[in-house]
Structure 1
Amino acid sequence: MKLFYFLSLALLPFLYACDSTIEKEEYTNFDNNIWEYDSISSFEFKVNEVNRSHNLLFNIRYSLEYPHYNLFVIYDLIKGQDTLSNNEMTEFNLMHPQKGAPFGESSEVLGNGIAIYTLQLPLQQNIKLDTGTYQLNLKHYMRPDSLNGVQAIGYRIEYAE
C-alpha cells in the first residue's frame, strides 16, 4: 500500500505537466524531406465545445537544408459544405532575416548530424467554431516547386486561454 501512495505521488507532477489546452495535433511526413508544390496535406478534426474560443496553429519540422528564411502557406478551413477560410495565404519566418538563425526548438538530430527544428505558428487565433467536423488543407506557395529540408507539416487545434 505504501508503494501505491509513493508511485501516485511520484506520478502527480507528470499528470499536471500534460497540456490541457490541446484538442488535437497531427503531422504529415514527407518522403526525402521534400515538400512538393502539388502535395496538399489534409487533416480532419472535431470540435466538441462550442462555448470556447480556439487557436489554429501551423506546425513545421524543418532542417537547415531549407533554402529560404520564409515560407508562404495557403490553407482552407472547411466544415461540411461551408468553406470558412478559402485560399488564405500567410507568410511565416522560419529563420531570422538578418542573423540566419532558425526559429523553433531543435528536437532531434538525424543520423547525418542534421538538426530538425520544430516550430508552431498561428493560422487563426481566438476563433469561435461550432461543434462538428472540420477539414484543414495546407499547401506551400513558394517559387520552387520542391522545398528541400521540410520533414513534416501539421496543425494543432487548441483552446484559447
Structure 2
Amino acid sequence: MKIKHSILFVFVLFLIISCDKKRVFDEYKSVGNTWHKDSIVSFDLPKLDPKKSFNLYVNVRDNDDYPFNNLFLIVSLEQPNRQTKVDTLEYQMTNPDGTLLGDGFSDIKESKLFYKGKAAFTQKGIYKVHIKHANRQTGKIEGVTSLPGISDVGFRIESTE
C-alpha cells in the first residue's frame, strides 16, 4: 500500500510541476508571524537569457490576521552594475467584505502580485531583488512596525514565451 501512495504522490507532484511551464524562478522566504518594517526580503536571481523578456511577480502568503485592505511594498531591483531601480507598489489584498484575496483552501492565501512585464536582463552578472513593506495606518506618518498576517514573501519570474 505504501508503494501505491508513493507512486501517486510522485505522479501528482510531476503534474503540478509540468503545468507550470512559464516558471523560470519561484522562491519564498519566511518572515515569521509578523513582518517587521526593517526586515528586507532579498533574492539573488538566476542567470537569465538576455535575449528574452520576463514577467516579474511578488508572491505573498497571508492569513486572517492581516489587518489591512491593501499592501504597500517597496521593491528594489539591483542590477549587476549596482544601479538600483526602486518602485513603490500598492496591492489590493481583500474583497469588499474583508475576506482575503488569493489562492488557497485554508485561512492561508497565496497572492501572485504583478510587478513588471516584459523585463529584460541584459547585463552580465547577478541581479538582486529586495522587498520590504511600507504600510501605514491612516493619519500616521510612521510606518507600521510589525505587520501581522504575512508569513512568507516570494519572488517569481515567468517566461513571456
Common fold by TM > 0.5: yes
Q: Structure 2 regions of 5+ residues with no counterpart?
A: 1-6, 137-143
Name the % identity.
29
Structure 1 residue 93: Cα displacement:
0.7
Do residues 119 (structure 1) and 111 (structure 2) align? yes
Give the structure-2-normalised TM-score.
0.80
Q: Which residue of 1 aligns with 2:23?
A: 22
Q: Are the aligned partners of 1:106 and 1:116 in contact in 2 as well (CA < 8 Å)?
A: yes
Q: Per residue, is there more strand in 1 or in 2?
A: 1
Contact 1:52–1:128, Cα closer than 8 Å, also in 2: yes
Match of 1:140 among 129, 133, 141: 133
Who is 1:60 aligned against?
60
Change (3 A) 1:142 1:17: same
Count of residue pairs the alignment pairs up:
142
Query: 2:44 maps to what in 1?
Result: 44
Following superposition, the deviation at residue 84 of structure 1 comes to 4.3
Amino acid at match of 2:28: Y
1:77-125 per-residue CA deviation (whole Å, 9 max, x = no partner) reads 0122332412x100001102x2222111125x4xxxxx10001011111
Q: TM-score, normalised by structure 1?
A: 0.80
Structure 1: give runs of 5+ residues left out of the alignment. Answer: 1-6, 110-114
Question: Is 1:129 the counterpart of 2:105 in the alignment?
Answer: no
Structure 2: how far apart are the matches of 1:80 and 1:92? 28
Q: CA RMSD in A?
A: 2.1
1:129 deviates by: 1.6
Equivalent-residue separation in structure 2 for 1:91 and 1:37 (angstroms): 16
Distance 2:65 2:93 in 1: 12
1:4 corresponds to: none
Could you say what secondary structure the match of 1:14 adopts? helix
